[in-house]
Structure 1
Amino acid sequence: MTHRCSWATSEALAHYHDTEWGKASHDDQHLFEMLTLEGAQAGLSWSTILNKREGYRRAFANFDIAVVARFTPQQVDALTLDASIVRHRGKIASVITNAQAVQRIQAEHGSLAHFIWSFVGHEALVNNWATYQNAPTSTEISDALSRALKGYGCKFVGTTICYAFMQAIGMVNDHQSDCAFRHSSIESGR
């Protein structure tokens, strides 16, 4: 029997697991999207966020950093009425704040990807957990990333959110060691 990570319990989660989670991303727009979605998840299930992902893409200009950085307070007001996203004013406003912070990071470091990946020496960390429940919720690296992002003014980037972000974008391979779908392919860079 072929195994997936134990958290991939629905069709949508399995698709995300099999096609995206843990795959190395160096695309600033995608990184901004994942940072936004991980922040939106705080207090909610990942299934809820995946179900609203297209709503987020529409609401936030497909995560075009420059466009989102110019969103107005009136746009924030309108988005608080949009049921296709999480209607939490603080989380919505943080997307704009974070886009502006990402622009500062890009100006200083060349790209968000270069900055983010520097925390792992530009190479994914590979773990071999027997079960996903053994994976930590935060590490010293996610602590440092959280502090650094907050230093640029980012919101909803606590250490637990940062670790989930690191897992999602492939900075750390936390696929279970028996995950026939992704562990070895992620480890070999596929």
Structure 2
Amino acid sequence: MERCGWVGSDPIYEAYHDTEWGVPEWDSRALWEKLILDGFQAGLSWITILKKRDSFRAAFQGFDPYIIATWGEDDVQRLLGDPGIIRHRGKIEATIGNARAWQVIEAEQGFDTYLWSYMGDAPLQNHWTSLAEVPTETEISRAISKDLKKRGFKFCGPTIVYAFMQAVGMVNDHVVTCHRHAPVAKMATPPR
């Protein structure tokens, strides 16, 4: 069974690639969680985040942005003492601020609707033949990044946003020889 070349042979990466990566996500809270985790990944490897994801979910109350938006310095200190997560003050504080910014977008139009509007409400189906063709950012990821920052988000540069877009299926960046390319392409219809 052929997979995208970035997967390697780690069973955690294989499972993530085979069940999650590229699958279109339509839920506002789940989209926010993934964007936050991609922000925590900045400067690190994604496998580090995957191995700590359950600890992140516990520490951040299931990534409930309504709860996190109420947090303050005591919560930052608690999280800085949690060895199960990435203990980076800037990223922790950004998560709290991002929860507040998420609430505004969610109330206005829905975070899911906001993000998917950039895609015309359907995933972009790429047909890359090799990893060398896959971009690290695009015009769309730059536009989303710019607007998120304008709305108060942090740790959401265009490269982070593009990795997020790949992970949540806004783009199908499985290479065409990967066993997941065709199944993911069939998931392109939103459940609305």
Q: CA deviation at 1:128?
A: 1.0
Match of 2:63 in 1: 63
Mapped partners of 2:33, 2:107: distance in 1: 19
Aligned residues: 187
Deviations 1:117-175 (A, max 9, x none): 01111110011111223210000000000011111100000000000000011000000
Mapped partners of 1:84, 1:156: distance in 2: 20
Q: CA deviation at 1:48?
A: 0.4
Report whether the alignment pairs 1:135 with 2:172: no
Report whether the alignment pairs 1:171 with 2:174: no
SS at match of 2:66: helix
Match of 2:103 in 1: 103
Q: Unaligned stretches of 5+ in structure 1?
A: none
Deviations 1:36-84 (A, max 9, x none): 1100000000000101101110011001110111112110011011111
> What aligned pairs does 1:154-165 form with structure 2 within 5 A after superposition?
154-165=153-164
2:52 partner letter: K
1:69 partner letter: A
2:64 partner letter: D
With normalisation by structure 1, the TM-score equals: 0.96
> What aligned pairs does 1:9-158 form with structure 2 within 5 A after superposition?
9=8, 10-109=10-109, 111-158=110-157
Name the Cα RMSD after superposition. Answer: 0.9
1:71 partner letter: W
Q: Give the one of 179, 184, 187 matched to 2:185.
A: 187
SS at match of 1:98: helix
Q: Unaligned stretches of 5+ in structure 2?
A: none
1:185 partner letter: P
SS at match of 2:93: helix
Mapped partners of 1:103, 1:62: distance in 2: 16
Mapped partners of 1:68, 1:28: distance in 2: 15
SS at match of 1:129: coil
Mapped partners of 1:27, 1:66: distance in 2: 15
Mapped partners of 2:107, 2:28: distance in 1: 13
